[in-house]
Amino acid sequence: MDTKHDFTQGNILKKLVTFMVPVFGALILQAMYGAVDLMIVGWFGTTAGISAVSTGSNIVNLVVFTVTGLSMGITVLISRYIGEGKTERIGKVLGGVICFFLILSVVLTIVMIFAAPSLAVLMQAPEEAVELTTLYVRICGGGIIFVIAYNVISSIFRGLGNSKLPLIFVAIACVVNIVGDLLFVAVFHMNVAGAALATILAQAVSVVLSIVIIRKQGLPFPFKKEDIGFSPEVWKFLKLGLPIALQEMLTNMSFLVLCALINRLGLEASSGYGVAQKIVTFVMLVPSSLMQSMSSVVGQNVGAGKEKRAKAAMVSGMCVGAGVGILIAVFVFFCGDVLSLAFTKEAPVIARSWEYLKGFAPEAVLTSFLFSYIGYFNGHGMTLFVMAQGLAQTFLVRLPMSYIMSIQPDANLTSIGLAAPTATVFGIAICSTSFIIYQKKLKKRVIS
């Protein structure tokens, strides 16, 4: 294996940061999808269009993040096999992945197209935005196979320790999406439909070109046509990925509930929250890239039996993430209106967006600790625990607090936004306790 993709030796901080930078870059570009969609609709479309893209993207994200959770099982399994020196098994993993996700894509396409109207109503989309929300979900559902394919391909290469190719894939998609948004929304005035079409077209182009690049470069492990099919490897990556996927699904369902709660406060609140959510996506990039990178780095070291390096990676990630997170939190809290201005010129929408961001700002720091923990536990294959703590903070803290704040006579988005960092503090407490217990178990094993 190429030493630059080998995390079991060398300076752990340098290895982690070197791997993390392309992951961070890929996430920035991926975040540009939704941001550009909302930005172009905000400037060249309608206020109802902003609400529709916001509500519709929450529905689509439920699917996307669930698939991302499943594909995390692929990343962890491949990393583990590399650390154990069992690269001959990776071909069977890839073959099983192709079959499983192809079937899943067909099912999700049918569900999203036919259930879109009911989902828009269930989300309590403002009356002016119901039809537009339905249209957005249907178009994205029709091309969901390309969204899934991108996430699966990227997870495979992150498992191999290669974070640069996913960056190239998403860079291609981002450029196509920006051009498509400007063409369909700004020039042809297709509003929400144009934004959705641009997103799916971008993903399709990215997937096609990524396959071309892979065919030219070849794969760093043996893969034959006979490997394509359901094998025991499918269950192995599902066993790792299903708990993460379930957590992502239920967590994003909680965001759907939160979106519905805020939609009840009116069109301005709905649109303001939609703008804030796009900014939040960028705020969460450092913690998210930490988590994905940590899973790969820790996974290899666990496979190689190097627990001290795995722990050192986690601590390094926390330090890097917290340092950057403090700067981001301060900027978001004091300059949230400036950031919101990039998405819309409507003053009431900007005010509501900034209102939410003031409550959410501490999350930029806190999640760096939580997501480093999560990456560490994922790398150890402890995905059931990760799921449990994620659901605990979501359904015991964030949702109840959001609901209570939303039904107050003087309800405001700042108090609702505070529910996120409050829940994260609860999650950090759970993870810290579990980490201490796990370290004690490791010491007992060494002594015995």
pLDDT digits (tens, 9 = 90+) for 113-126: 999 999 888 887 77
Question: What values do phi and psi take at 22, rounded to 5?
Answer: -65, -35
Least confident piece of the model among 84-98, 157-171, 272-286, 410-424: 157-171
Say if CB 237 and CB 96 are below 8 A apart: yes
Q: How does pLDDT run across 394-426, given as a tens digit for each residue?
A: 889 999 999 999 888 888 899 999 999 999 999
DSSP class of residue 224 equals -
d(CA 297, CA 310): 7
The CA distances from residue 117 to 123, 155, 258, in Å, are 10, 32, 19
Nearest residue to 105 (alpha-carbon basis) of 184, 28, 177, 207: 207
Q: How does pLDDT run across 12-61, given as a tens digit for each residue?
A: 888 888 888 888 887 787 777 667 888 888 888 887 888 888 788 878 88
Nearest residue to 52 (alpha-carbon basis) of 62, 42, 65: 42
Other C-beta atoms closer than 10 Å to the C-beta of 3 total: 9
pTM of the model: 0.71
d(CA 259, CA 200): 23
Q: How does pLDDT run across 227-252, given as a tens digit for each residue?
A: 888 888 888 888 888 887 887 777 77
Predicted local distance difference test score (pLDDT) of residue 448: 56
Predicted local distance difference test score (pLDDT) of residue 174: 85
Predicted local distance difference test score (pLDDT) of residue 52: 87
Range 369-381 average pLDDT: 91
Q: How does pLDDT run across 78-99, given as a tens digit for each residue?
A: 888 887 888 888 888 889 998 9
Predicted local distance difference test score (pLDDT) of residue 447: 63
**With 80 as the cut, is the pLDDT of residue 271 above it?**
yes
Nearest residue to 420 (alpha-carbon basis) of 377, 369, 376, 366: 366
Nearest residue to 45 (alpha-carbon basis) of 248, 227, 188: 188
d(CA 349, CA 114): 31
If you average pLDDT over every residue of the chain, what do you get? 86
Say if CB 55 and CB 259 are below 8 A apart: yes
Measured in Å, how far apart are the chain's first and last C-alpha atoms? 33
- Across 193-263, where does the E strand assignment appear? none
Amino acid at 91: G
Helix, strand, coil shares of the chain, percent, nearest 5, are 85, 0, 15
Predicted local distance difference test score (pLDDT) of residue 2: 52
Range 177-190 average pLDDT: 90
Say if CB 268 and CB 349 are below 8 A apart: yes
